[in-house]
Structure 1
Amino acid sequence: MIFPAPLERGILIRRYKRFLADVTLEDGTGTTVHVPNSGSMLGMNMPGLPVWLSRSADPKRKLPLTLEMVQLPTGLVGVNTMRPNRLAEAAIGDGVIPGLTGYDVIRREVRYDSDSRIDLLLEHPGRAPAYVEVKNVTLSRAPGLAEFPDCVTARGAKHLGALERVVEAGGRAVMLFIAQRGDCDRFVTADDLDPAYGAALRRAEANGVEVLCYGCHLTPETIRLNRPLGRPGATG
């Protein structure tokens, strides 16, 4: 994924009300920006951190700047939860994820399980469709270790239940975690922050839901999936 224009640099002053942050731009201007992330952004919301922002060309937008990345000592971290679906779609189309090749149609936000929408539905004549749920991973509290979630996510557990029901009905279901950071090579669930989600993921995997985890290469110009992450202790 290539940004339409290089991201702009700033310094984080504070993040508040989940979807807002105050930032100082490089020219010294202070401004409020949109934060497209409903999680806690644990470890990435400290005042003084360098941040990278995209600017919308839409003159009607109240907040033209969007927080895209946070600069940590170990590298860039993508915090925009709107990006992983597009990253996954591009990677699947390019054959970057071996487990998800062989599908010639990728559909977005398809309704399923009565009241849910799957992030990506992969289809090919003569094959059962693959239902792919995508989650953005930003948390890392130990060197090289990506973690999810960064706060309690009842919605995430609900998605896992829907994926289990796809498998029960004879379909294929995939939980794809995308760590928008280049400093991790392993993935685990953050059971101390949300033990229910960790238990739900393990149950879903035991019941046939496939779990895939990938890291990214990030620059202020582009983001792309580039490597699978290991899963210490995984039984699936």
Structure 2
Amino acid sequence: MDSFVWDKDRKSRTGIAEAVFCNNKSDADLIAIIEYNISHHSSVLLTRLSPTQWAMLPAAVQEKLDYEAASNTAILNFIKPESTSSDVCIVSAGTSDLAVAKEAQRTLAFNGYHAPIYADLGVAGLWRLIDKLDDIKQHKIIIALAGMEGALFSVLSGLVDMPVIAVPTSVGYGVSAGGQAALTSALASCSPGILTVNIDNGFGAANAAIKIMKQFHPVTGV
């Protein structure tokens, strides 16, 4: 019995191609999925591909993939975005949020969008966010990432006129509870215009931004 059924029509149906969530997949299943897509000349995004999983892949498979350890992502048949301009940017509260921020960035890149990251702009040093605010306002959608108490979401949304997609991260300790405090903060914010995805879900935030952008600027390619 096959261990997977590839949804080849997902992009035409939803606008977003099927991706491979690698966490908890066996090495054999992961290799089978990748080799299936190699044989079909597909472009595929793999998320949560740990360094250990990457090391277990055969060299012939590794050669086909563009792997980025910082985001735990790999892309089969990667075509880098041609444009350096973008309607979306990514803002992280702390350097500890960068793995999830880079997952969002790579998801956007796979779908043809360049998205700069503005890192380490949390409210503990509010001047850092203020210094970058003019640059951030050049974009039309913001993906914001924060752990701890998640204050960045409310502060940022209160300073800009574009939607903020909040990504609570599992950064913090004690009552931060693996991102639960930041998630609650995002959902309970009194600042309007915040859309919230699951904890550490940079992939989901990027796809939400892509679906919004496609309503106005369709992208062809992958």
TM-score range, shorter chain: under 0.3
The structure that is strand-richer by fraction is: 1
The structure that is helix-richer by fraction is: 2
- TM-score normalised by length of structure 1: 0.26
- TM-score normalised by length of structure 2: 0.27
